[in-house]
Structure 1
Amino acid sequence: MGYRSYVAVGDSFTEGLNDPGPAGTTGFRGWADRVAERLAQLEPGFRYANLAVRGKLIDQIIEDQVPRAVELRPDLVSLCAGGNDLLRPGSDPDRMAKTLAAAVRDLRATGAEVVLFTGVDPRDIPIMRRARGKFAVFYLHVRSISDLYGCRLIDQWSMQGLRDWRAWSEDRLHMNAEGHRLVAAKVLDVLGVPIDDDWRKTWPPREWADPRARRREDARWLREHLGPWIGRRLRGRSSGDGLDPKRPDLTPLPPPPA
């Protein structure tokens, strides 16, 4: 089956932070753009919308983005939500799952193919490690929802290539270009789309010549990334406040820059 239209729904992960766009463009690319670019190669007249906005919570995504995706009635929808909620104290993975299930039901009722995601195992990420059990409960729910409604599931928990920091940007919360490339390859593989890329990456060993260099890197991360992130949460602010989706309508992809 060729997909003629695709709508991506979610937060910063789907928006594409921190995967810079091609030379001559502004903004971020990300795994969803990479998937759309491949689908456009295979289907004349292919159209793509990306409704994702960084920092959004699951209720905001379901309220603001899912109705628009239903309205657009694409052949394919990707939905990834909940990561920002799970980072917050007091979030309830069972309630989140009920919210997600209702959204998936609405999307599937349009006849669209729906792609869902588990997250990466957070055991190697300092600010997430203590909440690992809560992450696991929610992602088990995601697997169940996927099975119940006949969705395609992208299991990032099992992607060993994403457990290496070289797949992540300096903030350790968002993937870099290599991480987004791996996810795009996984999505296309699960969709049965022929690709020349492989998501099964094995990184060469990384050696730290000086343990002090690693400690300095950790200290810089705390100062430049974790501190500001905590500050925004304490002020009730989000990195996505005031931002609009980068591709709010189903439109053809522009040709790549020369």
Structure 2
Amino acid sequence: MALGDSFTEGVGDWEPRLPNGVRGWADRVAKQLSKADPQWQYVNLGIRSRRLEQIIEEQIPVALELKPEVITFYAGGNDILEFRKDMKIFLERYAQAVSDLVSTGAKVLLFTGFDIPVHPVLAPFKRRNWRFNDCVRELALMYPENVVLVDYWQWEVYRDKRMWDTDKLHMNRAGHRYMAIRILEILGSEHHLEFYPFGDIERVGFWQATQRDVEWLRQWVLPMFGRRMRGVTLGDSLPPRWPEPIYPAKGMKKQFRKRRAPSGAQHLRNSEVS
């Protein structure tokens, strides 16, 4: 079972033939695990822009009810980007959420947040990320029998810009694929995924780099903070990607097509009536 926000949902790994138009590392991990055991089931409740409190209210109760064998839990990235967030209260709530998940008896994977080389406009949020990472590592030590630490922060490969989508905050397809490989290795699971090294890095001049930064601020950063000021998010109208247990071995795209078919048929019937 995968819980969290855009990181878990798969934003940046775009795939229109799957729920919410993304694939992501969690789908990739689920597919590989199902190859070893076709009866292995998968749930992914991650939705972009979700804050910790929303994940606690909407997703954790499902985990407590279903009691899965493995839970991945990534939450907090959106909270860290809130100016007025009380980090002490936030980290206490995060620790309680982890405690609740551990109580299920599942193996719980916790993730540190990557220390992205960000533009100076976002630099003040880096210290919050460091504090969050310290909390995650402490919790992993507190529950050594249940919690598995995915110390994403230490993986140097993500310092390469080619692992990131155009918004510079979400992994792209290469980043999600590499994440899936590392998680499968941490779980000790066999897999058939491969990561292909990049070619040479594109070299750009000062003015071209400056133009790209200005465009990035205009296209991504300003709209993001504008939405926060208005109290809206990109995930407000989105459902969880896989809210009910599925068998990845039966084909995830095929199951998504079947899931959409009834609504499409109903729409056709309504059109015929009108």
TM-score, normalised with respect to structure 1: 0.89
Instruction: Find the aligned partners of 2:242 and 2:132 in 1 and give their Cα distance.
Output: 28
> More deviation in 25-34 or 66-75?
25-34
Equivalent position to 2:164, from 165, 168, 177 = 168
Task: Name the residue aligned to 2:186.
Answer: 190
Structure 2 residue identity aligned to 1:179: G
User: Is the counterpart of residue 214 in structure 1 residue 221 in structure 2?
Assistant: no
Instruction: Look up the SS of the partner of 1:218 in the other structure.
Output: helix
- Given that 1:97 and 1:142 are in contact with CA atoms closer than 8 Å, whether structure 2 keeps it comes out as no
Task: Name the residue aligned to 1:13.
Answer: 7
User: Is the counterpart of residue 37 in structure 1 residue 31 in structure 2?
Assistant: yes
Name stretches of at least 5 consecutive residues in structure 2 with no aligned partner: 255-274
Q: Note the alpha carbon deviations across 1:77-98, whole angstroms, 9 max, x for none.
A: 0000000000111223332222
Q: CA deviation at 1:25?
A: 4.3
User: Is the counterpart of residue 143 in structure 1 residue 152 in structure 2?
Assistant: no
Identity of aligned residues (%): 38
Instruction: Find the aligned partners of 1:84 and 1:41 in 2 and give their Cα distance.
Output: 33
1:20-99 residue pairs with structure 2 within 5 A? 20-21=14-15, 24-25=17-18, 27-99=21-93
Q: CA deviation at 1:51?
A: 0.5
- Given that 2:117 and 2:159 are in contact with CA atoms closer than 8 Å, whether structure 1 keeps it comes out as no
Task: Name the residue aligned to 1:4.
Answer: none
Structure 2 residue identity aligned to 1:41: K
Q: CA deviation at 1:67?
A: 0.7
Name stretches of at least 5 consecutive residues in structure 1 with no aligned partner: 1-6
- Given that 2:11 and 2:22 are in contact with CA atoms closer than 8 Å, whether structure 1 keeps it comes out as yes
User: Is the counterpart of residue 109 in structure 1 residue 86 in structure 2?
Assistant: no
Q: Which runs of 4+ in 1 moved over 3 A?
A: 23-26, 122-128, 195-199, 201-205
Instruction: Find the aligned partners of 1:93 and 1:198 in 2 and give their Cα distance.
Output: 38
- Given that 2:9 and 2:24 are in contact with CA atoms closer than 8 Å, whether structure 1 keeps it comes out as yes
Instruction: Find the aligned partners of 1:55 and 1:10 in 2 and give their Cα distance.
Output: 9
Q: CA deviation at 1:125?
A: 4.6
Task: Name the residue aligned to 1:245.
Answer: 240
Instruction: Look up the SS of the partner of 1:130 in the other structure.
Output: helix
Q: CA deviation at 1:212?
A: 2.3
Q: CA deviation at 1:234?
A: 1.1
Q: CA deviation at 1:211?
A: 2.7
Q: CA deviation at 1:198?
A: 6.8
Instruction: Find the aligned partners of 1:89 and 1:191 in 2 and give their Cα distance.
Output: 36
Instruction: Find the aligned partners of 1:211 and 1:255 in 2 and give their Cα distance.
Output: 47
Q: CA deviation at 1:208?
A: 2.0
Structure with larger Rg: 2
Aligned CA distance change for structure 1 residues 25 and 250 (closer, same or farther; 3 Å)? closer
Q: CA deviation at 1:24?
A: 4.7
- Given that 1:208 and 1:214 are in contact with CA atoms closer than 8 Å, whether structure 2 keeps it comes out as no
- Given that 2:45 and 2:59 are in contact with CA atoms closer than 8 Å, whether structure 1 keeps it comes out as yes
Equivalent position to 1:225, from 204, 220, 226 = 220
TM-score, normalised with respect to structure 2: 0.84
Structure 2 residue identity aligned to 1:249: E
Instruction: Look up the SS of the partner of 1:9 in the other structure.
Output: strand
User: Is the counterpart of residue 255 in structure 1 residue 264 in structure 2?
Assistant: no
Please report the RMSD computed on the Cα atoms of aligned residues, expressed in angstroms. Answer: 2.1
Structure whose residues are more often helix by fraction: 2
Alignment: residue pair count: 250
Aligned CA distance change for structure 1 residues 131 and 24 (closer, same or farther; 3 Å)? closer
